[in-house]
Structure 1
Amino acid sequence: MKKTKKGRIGLYTVGHPHYWDQFEGLQDRLLEYASFIEKKMSQWGEIYNYGMVDTEKRAKAAGEWFNTKNVDLLFCYSATYAMSGSHIAIPQITGVPVIVLNLQPTARINYKETTTGEWLAHCGACSVPEISNAYQRCGIEFRAVNGLLGLDYTPEISKTDENTSNYPDAIAAWKEIEEWIKAATVKRNLQSAKMGFLGHTYPGMLDMYSDFTMITSETGMHVEVLEMCDLDRLFETIQEDEIKEKLEEIKKMFILSEDSTADPLAKKPTEKQLDWSARVAIAQDKLVDEFELDALTYYYRGAEGNKYEHLQSGFIVGNSLLTARGIPCAGEGDMKTALAMKIADTLELGGSFCEIVVTDFKDQTILLGHDGPFHIGIASQKPVLRGMGLYHGKWGTGVSVEAKVKKGPITTLGVTQTAGGSLKMIISEGMATDGPVMEIGNTMTPVKFDISPKKYMDRWFKSGPTHHFAMSIGHNKSQFKKIAKLLDIDYEII
């Protein structure tokens, strides 16, 4: 429903000005390497390449230029030796974190034929310890990416083979660069995002309660407090042609179940239940559009039988549809997990709403899921809709989603609030299996971690988590750590 904004990345190359007249072609060669870096980075971000910075004066001009571009992250390409004082003004002026690129163009120099000028094109690592010392003493946040440049050709000026694109040290370095740029993309999207908070938090779930100001302070997200009357007002505007279209969308996205053979509460959805879910889903779409929401957390419990209570009974289908369209929705008023889902969705890694369902000590797996919503982008197959004669632990009846995340590597991302009042990410990698699950209208996926369920839960519960989290596909520990670093949020790996 909304286009993801790419992170805005500042790139500059550092070198020593006395070299340019002494060694013909060296500066142009280094700038050619920088152009390669810019082009490769542009797959993931919006790149602003200033060019060569080799004096204090140019550094100050570059810092001001990057400020006009409102960059989220800086990359300093250490192409050859450069005095730290000739470029330190850039991060000082911008106040933006810096990633220093130490990417050697060749895996091995041609020792017998290498000249001084040739060597200088490969000695970028020489100045990185100096940068490290100067930046640390000046309180500048930075990281270094070390490895090979990864060219897929050799420049004519070179005296050695520079085609290193398939070397592990190039692949690993570019994986780090990609993750940093994507972390900047997440940060930029959160800073301009609006989180809807509809209704209230599930009463009594102390871990769910969130400090709205803290969310804005640490992520930049605006929290839009919504009322059920906002949804009801939009519900009254629904047209018959919209209902027909939404029912078609539902039937296209979901498989309609038959009655469960095990659970008498889980039935084939009735036409009445589907019609109500479609109507509520239309109102939810209108709510997202009117308030320009990027994520939504919701829950409502009122007096039994009231109009708003009936409205909330149809939430799950519509919020699964919204989640599939890039507006992650977290139930029970769990804003922190909606944030985790938004991070995963921005990275196109899913982000499905989960908690512990049950542990299988025979298979050594933990089943993770919830009664909805679900992210279809990471489903093993089409999700199933089940009619629920009664929502377990909640008021009312309606339709729920039954689905499993595709088999393979997954990463859970939990966001909790510490006793000190700050956000904290809790990250763990595992493998989704194709083990058996229940047919009770819940999403659930068996997950095997590197340690036993008992040991995993020992460590997890000690970390002070919320009981919800987002499940993403792939092993994303390294990526989520970089996001935590850019947001200046604490994290723990389980």
Structure 2
Amino acid sequence: MRLKETKKARIGVYTMGLKHYWGQFPGLRERMIEYGEFISKKVKNMNAEVFFYGLVDCEEEGKKAGEYFNGNNVDLILAHAGTYVTSASVLPVHQRCKALTIILNLQPTAKINYEKTTTGEWLAHCGACPVPELANAFHRSGIQHKIVNGLLGLDYTPEISLTKEDTGNRPEAIKAWKQIEEWVLAASVKSGLSNARFGFLGNTYSGMLDMYSDFTMFQAQTGAHLEVLEMCDLNRMLETVTEDEVKEKRKEIEEFFLISEDVAADPLAQKPTEEQLNWSAKVAVAQEKLVEEFNLDALTYYYHGAPDGAYEKLQGGFIVGHSLLTAKGIPCAGEGDLKTCLVMKICDIVNKGGSFCEIVVTDYEDGTILLGHDGPFHLAIANGKPILRGMGLYHGKQGTGVSVEAKVKTGDITTLGCTQTIDGNLKFIITEAESTDGTIMTIGNTQTPVRFKKDPDSYMDEWFGEAPTHHFAMSVGHNGSLFEKIAMVLNIPSVILDK
């Protein structure tokens, strides 16, 4: 159950054509509108808000359409090339509204009826004709755009048509609509982030220079708000937790996790005590209250505190609650890594998971790299129930508590990292790979064996050459093309590795 719903993408749609045609070819104008309405309906079924302007067929309509899309604050424009149109008619739309534009060259039929086709019929199928002209005008005007080519994919044939237009099952339609769906998902990330509130609790792990983030830069490049929180905010929540709330949270924990009964190889990672479990449950209640009070959509955190201090004990109970929050759509990134919290949130918005990871160790015999962390885990993409282990010591950190041992489902995965370049800009680093069901250590950490397309050393040569942040998010599925589109919608540079 998600604690908060992500704000839907707002998609502008219009169909283009030439005004002079309407009087010359009866029915053509209505046919273009019908195609545009079909596109709008399909996009609306992708859980998006759709704003269909109608036809842009002259310069004046182009100006009105741009103002309409601005007035509705659209995140993305789908510009349907229905038939020929002058670029001068369309350019004003995008000079007024700066949302990223996807030109849709979607032919209604796979093959025209050569023997019976009239000029009016041909014009209903010549949407590709203006696309080179539009691309030239957009390029020379500095208007960022992409093009989707393929079939319209109707599930019927309009009465006016002289050929078969039921093309929904053809591969050219399926491929085109997969791309459109990815663009709509990418727009949902933009919408989700621009309305999101990220919490930053505590500080960044001292000395991890790759993770330090400029909060102004973060808001400027993502549109998200950053709320700086204090440990006393969380402690205030802790003081309100009741015994009944702790009992309910214990039930939730026992439903989500397996409580370790075995003796692990590491003497530091054993069966958690009742005291540790109850403390983790109490802290988890407080963490959820903190998220609700500050209306958070994501949280990054780290706090070491004074040895044996109250806040050190409080942070010792973080991992279980933050894993539960991550599973409920509130991604939590440890060690104060705001950039990785960002990509975890992106993965979550598009329902691909997003677990907090770094390099653990390389298995040269198996040809895999073990990826994971001692912090939160996205339970929705776990390979079986994660195991809770009582930690006698958090390595490299102060305090003790309960940690999560788990791995991501076997199959296709994509890692999404976010780094910051010398000029202060964010950059996404994307890699498609495969998670395996290999052996992992019993040390209370999340660990997933991952096989890349190249051998481990060749992949690391390429990866480290991008000056990455050492953390990243692991998502399920091959999402490279989707993450590229998200980067473009956010105007953040990206690179795909290990192609």
TM-score between the two structures when normalised by the length of structure 2 = 0.98
Q: Is the 8 A contact 1:13 1:77 kept in 2?
A: yes
2:385 partner amino acid: K
Q: Deviations over 1:150-176 (max 9, x none)?
A: 112211211111121122111111111
**C-alpha distance in 1 between matches for 2:83 and 2:430:** 37
Matched length:
494
**C-alpha distance in 2 between matches for 1:327 and 1:362:** 37
SS of 1:298 mapped into structure 2: strand
Residue 457 (structure 1) aligns with: 460
Of 481, 488, 494, which residue of structure 2 is paired with 1:491?
A: 494
Q: How does 1:201-220 map to 2 (within 5 A)?
A: 201-220=204-223
- Which stretch has the larger CA shift, 135-144 or 329-338? 135-144
SS of 1:316 mapped into structure 2: helix
Deviation at 1:87, TM superposition (A): 2.1
1:365 aligns with 2:335: no
2:391 partner amino acid: M
- Which stretch has the larger CA shift, 258-267 or 301-310? 258-267
1:331 aligns with 2:334: yes
Residue 321 (structure 1) aligns with: 324
2:345 partner amino acid: K
1:243 aligns with 2:231: no
Q: Is the 8 A contact 1:353 1:374 kept in 2?
A: yes
**C-alpha distance in 1 between matches for 2:450 and 2:344:** 18
1:18 aligns with 2:20: yes
1:161 aligns with 2:164: yes
1:82 aligns with 2:101: no
Residue 7 (structure 2) aligns with: 5
1:29 aligns with 2:16: no
Residue 117 (structure 2) aligns with: 114
- Which stretch has the larger CA shift, 53-62 or 212-221? 53-62
Q: Is the 8 A contact 1:260 1:440 kept in 2?
A: no
**C-alpha distance in 2 between matches for 1:412 and 1:301:** 28
**C-alpha distance in 1 between matches for 2:421 and 2:86:** 42
- Which stretch has the larger CA shift, 461-470 or 91-100? 91-100
1:407 aligns with 2:424: no
Q: Is the 8 A contact 1:199 1:298 kept in 2?
A: yes
Q: Deviations over 1:373-392 (max 9, x none)?
A: 00011111111101111111
SS of 1:126 mapped into structure 2: coil
Deviation at 1:372, TM superposition (A): 2.1
SS of 1:296 mapped into structure 2: strand
- Which stretch has the larger CA shift, 260-269 or 375-384? 260-269
Deviation at 1:260, TM superposition (A): 3.0
Deviation at 1:474, TM superposition (A): 0.6
Q: Is the 8 A contact 2:375 2:403 kept in 1?
A: yes
Q: Deviations over 1:404-449 (max 9, x none)?
A: 1111100000001111111010000001111111111011111111
Q: Deviations over 1:108-139 (max 9, x none)?
A: 11111111111101000000011111111111
**C-alpha distance in 1 between matches for 2:179 and 2:63:** 28
SS of 1:385 mapped into structure 2: strand
1:178 aligns with 2:181: yes
Q: Is the 8 A contact 2:78 2:103 kept in 1?
A: yes
2:279 partner amino acid: W
Residue 278 (structure 2) aligns with: 275
1:438 partner amino acid: M
Structure 1 residue runs of 4 or more that deviate by more than 6 Å after TM superposition: none
Q: Deviations over 1:332-385 (max 9, x none)?
A: 000000001000000010000001111111111111111120001111111110
**C-alpha distance in 2 between matches for 1:452 and 1:260:** 34
1:297 aligns with 2:300: yes
Of 193, 196, 206, which residue of structure 1 is paired with 2:196?
A: 193
**C-alpha distance in 1 between matches for 2:411 and 2:158:** 41
Q: Is the 8 A contact 1:260 1:439 kept in 2?
A: no
Q: How does 1:340-489 map to 2 (within 5 A)?
A: 340-489=343-492
Q: Deviations over 1:202-233 (max 9, x none)?
A: 11111111111110010011111111111111
- Which stretch has the larger CA shift, 39-48 or 6-15? 39-48
SS of 2:65 mapped into structure 1: helix
**C-alpha distance in 1 between matches for 2:61 and 2:224:** 35
**C-alpha distance in 1 between matches for 2:53 and 2:425:** 36
1:287 aligns with 2:290: yes
Q: Is the 8 A contact 1:449 1:456 kept in 2?
A: yes
- Which stretch has the larger CA shift, 93-102 or 316-325? 93-102
Residue 126 (structure 2) aligns with: 123
Deviation at 1:259, TM superposition (A): 3.4
**C-alpha distance in 2 between matches for 1:77 and 1:405:** 40
Q: Deviations over 1:61-114 (max 9, x none)?
A: 222111221111111110000011112111111122211110001111111111
Residue 311 (structure 1) aligns with: 314
Deviation at 1:43, TM superposition (A): 2.0
**C-alpha distance in 1 between matches for 2:189 and 2:294:** 21
SS of 1:75 mapped into structure 2: strand
SS of 2:263 mapped into structure 1: coil
2:36 partner amino acid: A
1:134 partner amino acid: A
**Which structure 1 segments of 5+ residues have no match?**
none
TM-score between the two structures when normalised by the length of structure 1 = 0.99
